[in-house]
């Protein structure tokens, strides 16, 4: 073995030792301050809770909004158009809803209807009666 090869092997051995030392430090060193061995945080920042969230990932319904939705609370996170179609309605039924309400969530519409918005009340009636209205000829 010549001198250059011996130097390369010695340098590789030093790199291996330094790497092992860093790995050993990062495995066994719990600083208790949320930082890893390299001084950076390994935790992901959480987002603050949404005030309109009711815990199941959807829109928070007011008491009157729940009452106006009735047994359709499982549809509160769908858009009005999707809710009408999922209950058997047709595109014609969707077109009866005011255009600015078609892409709103059903939960938001229920809360508006509870506050007395006549267009929202109509939209809720169309959602509830979608199947009956689609069979009407």
Q: What is the pLDDT of residues 111-129, one digit of tens each?
A: 999 999 999 999 999 998 8
Tell me which residue has tokens 């255009």. Answer: 99
**Residue 85 near residue 75 (C-beta atoms within 8 A):** no
Instruction: Look at residue 84 and give its three-state secondary structure.
Output: helix
Residue 111 lies in a domain: yes
Q: Which residue, among 96, 47, 56, has the nearest Cα to 76 in the 3D structure?
A: 56
* Number of domains making up the chain: 2
Verify that 76 and 101 share a domain, yes or no: yes
- Span 5-43, pLDDT tens digits: 888 888 888 888 888 888 777 666 555 555 555 555 544
Give the global pTM: 0.56
The whole-angstrom separation of Cα 83 and Cα 127 is 6
Residue 90 lies in a domain: yes
Residue 50 pLDDT: 46
Verify that 87 and 38 share a domain, yes or no: no
Range(s) of the domain holding residue 14: 1-46
Verify that 10 and 69 share a domain, yes or no: no
Question: Counting beta carbons within 10 angstroms of the beta carbon of residue 102, is it exposed (0 to 12), middle (13 to 18) or buried (19 or more)?
Answer: middle
The whole-angstrom separation of Cα 19 and Cα 25 is 10
Q: Which residue, among 65, 60, 71, 78, has the nearest Cα to 128 in the 3D structure?
A: 71
Residue 41's alpha-carbon distances to 22, 58, 95, in angstroms, are: 17, 31, 52
């Amino acid at each position: 073995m010549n001198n250059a090869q011996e130097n390369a092997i010695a340098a590789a051995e030093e790199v291996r030792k330094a790497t092992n030392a860093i790995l050993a430090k990062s495995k066994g060193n719990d600083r208790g301050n949320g930082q890893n061995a390299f001084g950076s945080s390994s935790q992901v920042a959480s987002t603050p809770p949404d005030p309109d969230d009711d815990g199941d990932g959807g829109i928070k319904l007011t008491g009157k909004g729940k009452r106006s939705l009735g047994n359709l609370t499982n549809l509160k996170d769908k858009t009005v158009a999707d809710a009408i179609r999922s209950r058997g309605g047709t595109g014609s039924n969707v077109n009866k809803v005011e255009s600015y309400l078609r892409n709103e969530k059903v939960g938001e519409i229920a809360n508006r209807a509870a506050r007395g918005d006549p267009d929202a009340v109509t939209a809720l009636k169309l959602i509830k009666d979608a199947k009956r209205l689609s069979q009407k000829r």
